[in-house]
Amino acid sequence: MIPPRLDWLLPEPLFDPPAFSGFGLPLATLLARRGFADDEGLRRFLEAGSASLHDVSLMTDADAALARLELAIERGELIAVWGDYDADGMTAIAVWMVALRALGVPALRYVPSRLAEGYGLSQAGLEELSRRGARVVMTCDCGVSNVDEVELARGMGIDVIVTDHHVPPAVLPRAIAVVDPHRLDCAYPDEDLTGAGVAYKLAAALLGRRGVTCPDLAAFAAIGTIADMAPMTGESRAIVRLGLAELAATRRAGLRALLARACEHPAAPTGRDLGFGIAPRINAAGRIADAELAISLLLEEDVATAERLADELEAVHRQRREMTSAAVDAARALLAELEPIDGEAVDGPLALRRDEWPIGILGLVAGRLSDALGRPVAAVGLAGDELRGSVRAPDDFNVAAALGACAAHLTKRGGHAAAGGFSLLPSAWDAFSAAFGALPRPFPQGGAPVATSAGRVAVDLVLPASHLGWQLVEEIERLAPFGPGHVEPILAVTGLRVVEARRVGASGAHLLLRMHRGGEAFDAIAFGMPADRPLPEPGSALDLLGTLERDSFQGVARLRLRTLDYASREASPLAARRAAIRPAAVPIEVGAALPLTGAAG
């Protein structure tokens, strides 16, 4: 008997959901749980696009920023675009470089060295841009905390336009404009835009004022939006939908080379492709190499050059994966060595330091540990004579607020609710570690705790295996793109028997399950299943937890369950549900099973 590895958080049964046109009862149940009440509200959500975008003039200082850019264009002043070294910042730079090029405006671009300069504006970078003749510097995905650096720029005769989406400090920089939807005095209807999203809105407005259009702006913004894990609701959802359409049709050689290496179907990229294929490759350049490699690829129009740059980026991406794996292993070993402190909460914030960790992968280390442990994690390494760190946390812990609470120990900080970065002197490490570890959950206090801890998975639908079919997967696909606030539906499936279970992959890291439901075969794949997880015996009844997806084998389309967990029928979290609910009362659609192989209609 195999118990579940994870804690399945089953939803309460919903017996009478409203009907939604084009969706069967299972998906109607899901939609009702997610707050949809009628077809019109659902249609606006599903068809989010240009009509869903707000007037950027509603954002504080947006008009001032656009006015200064137009003045620079009229005067022939040199504009420099300064971005962050992550995918959000780099795609924001790409948005502006393409938009300004479409206007015939030459511009400089600048990304600081992660190691030598760190995040945001720097004196060295501003001095370089001043030497190169820049009179206007526009930040992307950074700058809202750079009060001192903006003063330096003013002294150099440089006007700074800040565009950012991180939580601003109490005192804003004295820039020409500070465009940030999180400003307290900003009444913009959607504060969840990323740095690339803000860049897209401003650049599109500038082009619109001059009657110019150009392709790929939404494509770049969509990559940054997915990479920075913006909620897949509101304007961010609209930008991603617009961007996916642009990516599918793009003629830009750099984007096509990137799609070819990162997407299963490059002509029809998905949100999953952007999040798990494209964004990690772009981020790899900024993490362990030179961000300019990724930006050059994004902007490249020559096919041969694009192929060469894409190959270089692919090699960097592979190296980053190896470095991350080694660092996460070291972090787990360090965690095992820590002595528990009396009274310390097992799910409280945790700060880990290893001076030799590469600075560029600290966010990945923090993220992996936070996901595995279900608690906030700060990963810290040494960069020259200072420490730098990254924080990742569950939804009930606001990272930006947490770093604000520890500000007395930090020399620099920035971030938003889910992630952040900071710097501090080595002498302040003990004080910071203690202060961070003492913060409560949820934080800030008073917020509703989110059921997020290690090994807990919220189930969206409980279904018999007979309902896994093309109709269901097509209805699920209509809800894409998925992301925070609108996650891909997780199904708990019962009524399957094991035909075969075996380890696959170069190191046996994955588990392939061939199942039967009645007389029909059905495959499931569990990626990264722990080596000590027992294999189910042939003929045993098994309940599965996962997401339903399309797959193909030898050119034949089929369905597959991407499995997160499994349990023997008698040990399954669904056992009590089966016993408590009469079959006729189960809130699912009743009907014949749809075929699992063949062309999808």
Count Cβ atoms within 10 A of the Cβ of residue 251 and give its class: 0-12 exposed, 13-18 middle, 19 or more buried.
exposed
SS3 letters across 228-271 = CCCCCCHHHHHHHHHHHHHHHHCCCHHHHHHHHHHCCCCCCCCH
Model's pTM, two decimal places? 0.90
Please report the pLDDT score of residue 600 as a whole number: 30
Question: What is the predicted pLDDT for the residue at 453?
Answer: 58
Spans of all domains in the chain: 7-46+454-585, 51-249, 252-333, 348-451
SS3 (DSSP) at 486: strand
Cβ count near 104 (within 10 Å): 8
Q: Distance between CA 115 and CA 291 in Å, rounded? A: 12
Q: What is the structure's pLDDT at 80? A: 98
Beta bridge partners of residue 83, listed in sequence order: 140
pLDDT of res. 596? 36
CATH number for the segment(s) 7-46+454-585:
2.40.50.460
Cα–Cα distance for residue pair 472/548, rounded to 1 Å:
8
Intervals of the chain under pLDDT 50? 451, 583-601
Which DSSP string corresponds to 392-418? E--TTB-HHHHHHHTGGG-SEEEE-SS
Q: How many Cα atoms within 13 Å fall on the side-chain side of residue 425?
A: 5
- Please name which of 51, 49, 59, 50 lies closest in space to residue 202, comparing C-alpha atoms: 59
Task: Give pLDDT, residue 570.
Answer: 94
Predicted pLDDT of residue 576: 86
* CA dihedral for 585, 588, 591, 596, sign (positive or negative): negative
**pLDDT value for 455:** 79
**Per-residue pLDDT tens over the stretch 254-306:** 999 999 999 989 999 999 999 999 999 999 999 999 999 999 999 999 999 99
pLDDT single digits (tens) 153-176: 999 999 999 999 998 999 999 999
The fold of 348-451 is: Diaminopimelate Epimerase; Chain A, domain 1 (3.10.310)
Cβ atoms 198, 92 nearer than 8 A: yes
At 119 the pLDDT is: 85
Tracing tokens 């109490």 back to the chain, one arrives at 170
Closest CA to 8 of 462, 346, 369, 547: 462
In CATH terms, 51-249 corresponds, of 3.40.50.970, 3.40.50.300, 3.90.1640.30, 1.10.1240.10, to: 3.90.1640.30
